[in-house]
Structure 1
Amino acid sequence: MKTETRWVKRIFWSSAALIGLLASYGAAGLIGGAIPSNRSWRAPARGVHIFVESNGVHTGIVVPKVAAGVDWRGVARAADLRDPRYAGFDHLAFGWGEKSFYLETPTWADVKLRTVVTAAVGSDRTLMHVEHLPLPRSGDGAREIVVTPEQYRRLAAYIRASFRAGGARYRGYAGYDAFYEANGRYDAVRTCNSWTGDALRFAGVRVGAWTPFPVTMMGWF
C-alpha cells in the first residue's frame, strides 16, 4: 500500500507541475503579446498593402509578389508547385515553423502530442511555407495592414533572411504551396507565430513584444 501511495503522490505532483508549467507559459504568452513594441507606429495613408493571416494554428504574412522594388518571383517559383498554374496569382503568404509540425499539422485536428513535445523542446529543422494566392479579403482569417515602402523592404529583408541558402524544397499541402528549408531554431519561445511578430516588429509595425500564439498576433490588427 505504501508503494502504491508513493506512486499516486508522484503522479499527482507531476501532473500538477505540468499543469502549472503550461498555465504559466500561457499566461506569459498572453502578457508578452499585450505589451506593444513600436508604440509610435501608425499606418500610412498610402503604401504597400500586406496581410496577417491565421488558420488557427499558424500565422503568416501575405505580400504582393512585386511591390516597392521587391520581386519575389525568383524565390517562389512556379516549378516548385504541384500545379504551376497557381504561380499566376499575384500574392504570396509566408510562414516559418518546425518541419514536422508544419508538414504534419495543417489544422488543429492533425496535432499529435509527439509532434508538439518535439517542437516545444527545440528543433533546428525548420521550414518556410509559401503559398501562391490571389488578393486576400480582410476578414476573420486575415487582417490588412498598410506599411510604407521602406517598412515593406525591411519586412522583405527579414523574410528573405529566413530562407536557408541552397536549401531543399518540398511540395506543399495542395497545388498552390511549397516548403523551403529555413534558418533558425524552433522551440516553445520562438514559435511560428512569434516569427510573424518578429518580422513585423523588425519592419517597424506595432505588435506585441512576444507573440507565441495566433491570438497574440491577430489581436493587434
Structure 2
Amino acid sequence: MRWILWCAAAVFGLVASYAVAGLIGGSIASNRAWRAPAEGVHIFVESNGVHTGIVVPKIAAGVDWRTIARAADLSDPRYAGYDHLSIGWGEKTFYLETPTWADVKLRTVAAAATGSTRTLMHVDHVPLPSARDDVREIVVTPQQYRRLSAYMTASFRANGAHYAGYGPYDAFYDANGRYSAIHTCNSWTGDALRYAGVRVGAWTPFPVTVMTWF
C-alpha cells in the first residue's frame, strides 16, 4: 500500500509540475515588440478546448493553399468552396480519438506524451470565421504571413498520404515532427506564430497558453 501511495504521489507531483511549468512558459512573452499592423492579412487562432489551430485565407499575400489542401481530398468537394482553412498539427491517435475533451482517454494521452512520430496535419475548409471566445482574430503583415505559411507548409510531409476527416469538410495529412508532452499540438501553434514574429508565449503546451495572448 505504501508503494502504491508513493507512486500515486510521484505521478501527481509530475503532472502538477508539468502544468505549472506550462503555465509559466506560456506567460513569458516572445516577440515582445510585436504590434498588429493597421492593415494586413487577417488570420485567426481557434481552440476546441483540446487542440488549437490557425485559420488562414486560402489565397493571400502571394500564398495559395489550394495546391496543398485540395478539393479532391474531401469526401464532399463542395466544401472546398469556402475561402479559409483551419490548420493544426498533432499526434495521429490523439487527433483521431480525441476531437473533444469528452473523448480524451488516459491511455491515449499517456502514449502521446511519451513521444510519437506518427503525426498528422488536420485541415478544415471553413468560411470566414467571426471573432468569439474560442476564435481570436490577428492581423499580420504580408511578410509575417508568408513566414507563418512557410512554417505551416513545412509541417506537411512531402508526398505523404491524406485521410478522411471528421466530416465532409476536412481531411488529415501525414506530417513531419515528433509529438510529445513538450511539443504538443498547441506548442506547434505557438511555434508557428512565434516564427512569424507574432507575440505569443515562449512555450505553449496548452490551449490557454495560446489563446490568452489574443
Q: TM-score, normalised by structure 2?
A: 1.00
- Over the matched positions of the two proteins, sequence identity in percent amounts to 77
Larger Rg: 1
SS of equivalent residue, structure 2 residue 25 = helix
Q: Match for residue 180 of structure 1?
A: 173
Where does structure 1 differ by over 2 angstroms across 4 or more consecutive aligned residues?
none
Q: Match for residue 132 of structure 1?
A: 125
SS of equivalent residue, structure 2 residue 67 = coil
CA distance in 2, matches of 1:24, 1:113: 18
Q: Which of 14, 17, 21 matches 2:14?
A: 21
How many aligned residue pairs are there? 214
Structure 1 unaligned residues grouped into runs of 5+: 1-7
Q: Match for residue 45 of structure 1?
A: 38
For the aligned residue pairs, the C-alpha RMSD in angstroms reads: 0.4
Amino acid at match of 1:70: V
CA distance in 2, matches of 1:56, 1:85: 28
Q: TM-score, normalised by structure 1?
A: 0.96
CA distance in 1, matches of 2:149, 2:19: 30
Residue 155 of structure 1: how far off its partner (Å): 0.1
CA distance in 1, matches of 2:104, 2:34: 36
Is residue 220 of structure 1 aligned with residue 203 of structure 2? no
Residue 83 of structure 1: how far off its partner (Å): 0.8
Structure 2 unaligned residues grouped into runs of 5+: none
- Report Cα offsets for 1:163-216 as digits up to 9, x if no partner: 000111001001100000000000000000000000000000000000000000
CA distance in 2, matches of 1:24, 1:112: 21
Residue 153 of structure 1: how far off its partner (Å): 0.1
SS of equivalent residue, structure 2 residue 194 = helix
Residue 113 of structure 1: how far off its partner (Å): 1.1
1:95-110 map, 5 Å: 95-110=88-103
- Report Cα offsets for 1:107-156 as digits up to 9, x if no partner: 01111111101100000000000000000000011000000000000000
Q: Which of 109, 119, 127 matches 2:112?
A: 119
